[in-house]
Amino acid sequence: MVNEARKILLDGPPVTSLDEYRARGGLQAYEKVKEMDPRDVLDILRKSGLRGRGGAGFPTYIKWQGLLESPASRKFICANGAEGEPGTFKDRWLIRHNPYQALEGLAIGSHVIGADTAFFCIKAKFEPEKAALQRALAELQRETTLADNIELVLGPDEYLYGEEKGLLEVIEGGPPAPRVYPPYIHGLFGGAYGGPRDGDNNPANVNNVETLSHVGHIIRNGPDWFRSFGTPDTPGTMIFAISGDVQTEVVRELPLGLTLREIIDGVAGGMRPGRRVKAIFPGVALSVTILAFNLLGDSLRDELDPRLRNL
């Protein structure tokens, strides 16, 4: 049985005002971080084991450490909420539920690395999310200094806008075209091709909305608390959007370490009557989809289309 009782990001009803967010402990982490050495903040994130929730699973503290130690005179940080993978709805659901925690995480990252400007990037067509972020930003900028350097970027619907290098191109006013160099080499508003030329590369960090949303909770409650969720190698929770031929299409925050069988059977209620598992698309590469067949367990493996059982 999947334990859905313990949550971090989607705990409680939706947060619709700054007063509600403060009542739940919001902004405490940001105030705490302002009095800390940035390296101590990175050490907390290192001990927590927080990994990126955008797909790569890269340790968050390493990304931030790279920019903290960079000699560049201008640095930037970006929240990537331009999700476009088929069936993906986690970041939009998270912003609708509580935009403040993502903004607080972005502000903490900005403070730690010494960013000039922080950009929160979503697609212009995400109307409910845009409204939630505009409301939250207005409150934060009116009543605190947390969001003084945060700008909301409303980008196009193209798939490549969700790729970190394409996202930087949009921030600079262009189409979401790919770049040669990653953001820590070719950042924002620098040379045409980036590269370490006289420190003008203006490096940037790009973090997923869900990753940033975890940061404030970790700072406030500590790394050991965060590690009480998930597994030793990948602690914490993740938001799963489950859709297709299942009994119940849902968005759920669940502890990491679950099998596909537990998610499909235990959370989504199993397959619809008369339907069989033919493929599972986890939102990443096809090779991972094929590998997933070996992780299903006997119950779901028996439901596979006979033509696919030996893949």
SS3 (DSSP) at 177? coil
Report d(CA 149, CA 35) in Å as an integer.
Answer: 19
289 pLDDT band (50/70/90 cuts)?
low
What spatial distance separates the first Cα and last Cα of the chain, rounded to whole Å? 28
Contact (CB, 8 A) for 247 and 268: yes
154 pLDDT band (50/70/90 cuts)?
very high
Residue 309 scores a pLDDT above 50: no
Query: Which residues lie below 8 Å from residue 147, measured CB to CB, with a gap of 6+?
Result: 103, 107, 137, 140, 141
pLDDT at 284: 54
- Helix-helix angle 127-143:90-97, to 10 degrees: 40
115 pLDDT band (50/70/90 cuts)?
very high
139 pLDDT band (50/70/90 cuts)?
very high
For residue 85 the two structure tokens come to: 């993978």
The average pLDDT across 218-228 equals 98
Residue 294 scores a pLDDT above 80: no
Of 225, 254, 226, 258, residue with least CA distance to 240: 254
More confident of the two residues 150 and 285: 150
Q: Which helix (H) or strand (E) holds 154?
A: strand 150-155
What is the chain's mean pLDDT, rounded? 88
Residue 75 scores a pLDDT above 90: yes
More confident of the two residues 194 and 5: 5
**In this structure, what DSSP letter does residue 272 have?**
P
pLDDT tens digits for range 164-183: 999 999 999 999 998 889 99
